[in-house]
Copies of this chain bind each other. A is one copy, B any other.
């Protein structure tokens, strides 16, 4: 009779449709590169969205071991989860408290980024009852029109200083709109407005630059830089060589190799027609894995250094590649092709999908078998 096997009866990596390798040493090297450029101040790390899709519970401890003391997440839930793995670090929550959640922030020692007078008022109410000082970050909007105090609210806060009584103001911060475009006049405009607005408030340390902002030069550095995407390999400066190390390597597994010829077509909607004898490899990943459907007929993979283009539409669980030019001995069921890595970077995939590297990273899917190296 058949016995039910345990889950350890098969090696997930050997059978996974795709293997995602995340190089924690590269994350640390990228953080050190950014930190080393700072004229002054500390270098934080942004690990929201589960460390840009790469696992905040792995990335953040690796950075903490390298000396990073400040971490930013988006939401309360992310902060609570990160507190479990980083009991000592300063953890900042960009969205600030939703109504009614202030106590949870304080109890987990999460520092809220306060984005309007309402959040400041609720936080101050809590601070009045709390046994210890409650550190606070205040976000000033300098052009994003998304979150943060408007200039009018800053004036009101300046005119009514009692609104800040009892709060321990760790930083005032703002966020750059187009920092990756070094010649964009918005950068200097935002810098000027940031300096103007913070001069109206009580003296406090300041934070403005994201990773790209650090590359804009010392005027943008202030007391705390907040790199995010660059830590994970995204280029900081548009149109310039990328100094960051690639962090992710994604390999997809070939299920089938087939020879086809005209007038056949491939995939849903028959969007690609063969014009002659072609070897096609079908690989076990698709848009349900975050391989964006906009890469249909546009993306590329690599086999042994040879580019093999995506042909036809990306399916939910499959892509099809024209592997005619790849070495035949690398093409068999079970073999791996490079989907993301040094030959085809996160930014390359983003350009082909008409998006940004950030979205390629945060879309990396749950079915990939994840391997962490380094750290």
Contact code string A1-44 (vs B, CB < 8 Å = 1, else 0):
11111010110101111000000000000000000000000000
Q: A237 in the interface, Cβ–Cβ < 8 Å?
A: no
How far in angstroms is the closest Cβ of chain B from A89? 16
Residues of B with C-beta under 8 A to A118? 333
Q: Is the CB of A1 within 8 A of B144?
A: no
Q: Is the CB of A186 within 8 A of B270?
A: yes
Q: Which residues of A in the span 333-355 have a Cβ within 8 Å of any Cβ on B? A: 333-334, 354-355
Stoichiometry, as copies per complex, reads 2
Q: Which one of A166-174, A196-204, A259-267 is at the interface?
A: A259-267
Q: Is the CB of B265 within 8 A of A145?
A: yes
Q: Which residues of A in the span 106-128 have a Cβ within 8 Å of any Cβ on B? A: 106-108, 115-116, 118-119
> Which of B75, B266, B316 lies in contact with A17, CB distance below 8 A?
B75
Q: A209 in the interface, Cβ–Cβ < 8 Å?
A: no
Q: Is the CB of B75 within 8 A of A317?
A: yes
How far in angstroms is the closest Cβ of chain B from A278? 9
Q: Which residues of A in the span 91-107 have a Cβ within 8 Å of any Cβ on B? A: 94-96, 98-101, 103-104, 106-107
Q: Is the CB of A366 within 8 A of B146?
A: no
Q: Is the CB of B267 within 8 A of A95?
A: no
Q: Is the CB of A266 within 8 A of B146?
A: yes
Residues of B with C-beta under 8 A to A280? 145
Docked CA distance A266–B255 (Å) = 45
How far in angstroms is the closest Cβ of chain B from A266? 4
Q: Is the CB of B284 within 8 A of A95?
A: yes
Q: A307 in the interface, Cβ–Cβ < 8 Å?
A: no
Q: A88 in the interface, Cβ–Cβ < 8 Å?
A: no
Q: Which one of A60-68, A157-165, A218-226, A286-294 is at the interface?
A: A286-294
